[in-house]
Amino acid sequence: MADIAYSIKEISLADCLPIRQAYLWPSLTQEECVTDGDKNATHFGVFVGDKLSGCASFHHLGGHKKRIRRVAVSPEYRGQGLGSALLKHAMEKLVTPDLTEIWLNARLPAQNFYRRLGFETMGETFFERDVQEIRMVKKYPVE
């Protein structure tokens, strides 16, 4: 990881939306970037100085599962470890003794990023909003 001073903390959905729109769906409005379950999710942000430079949302599902949605990091910091640090921090904070899995739908170019964090692909690829994705899962407890 590059020598970047950063911090990670819980943030609001309202804080996440400009990041999602800018880096995931610039053609959509912020309102269109809201997903089902966002209002009850836990949102984390990574800050470089006092600038929010990335975010990820964790949806709390029934059956002892969580889902990661809408991971976005500013292009100027991609590949420097901020996304990994953000997700590792959030997963550590959200692991409970009864957690069985965390899953997400990954954009195909991001598969190796998630594999390095312990996720495995499941099933076939599919399209969401014209973006090819694949489901990835991390089982708990981690052995």
Where do we find the tokens 């970047």?
Answer: 4
Average model confidence (pLDDT) across the chain? 93
Number of domains in the chain: 1
**pTM beyond 0.85:** yes
Considering the domain boundaries, does residue 84 fall inside one? yes
Amino acid letter, residue 38:
D
- pLDDT tens per residue across span 25-59: 899 999 999 999 999 999 999 999 999 999 999 99
Confidence of residue 2 (pLDDT cuts 50, 70, 90): low
Considering the domain boundaries, does residue 118 fall inside one? no
Around 99, how many Cα atoms within 13 Å sit in the side-chain half-sphere?
Answer: 20
- pLDDT tens per residue across span 48-91: 999 999 999 999 988 799 999 999 999 999 889 999 999 999 99
Considering the domain boundaries, does residue 108 fall inside one? no
Considering the domain boundaries, does residue 75 fall inside one? yes
Considering the domain boundaries, does residue 140 fall inside one? no
How is the beta sheet containing 101-107 ordered, strand by strand? 6-11, 42-48, 51-61, 65-73, 101-107, 131-139, 120-128
- What pLDDT is attached to residue 108? 93
Domain of 90 in residue numbering reads as 6-100
Considering the domain boundaries, does residue 86 fall inside one? yes
Q: What is the CATH classification number for the domain harbouring 43? A: 3.40.630.30
Percent of the chain at pLDDT > 90 equals 82
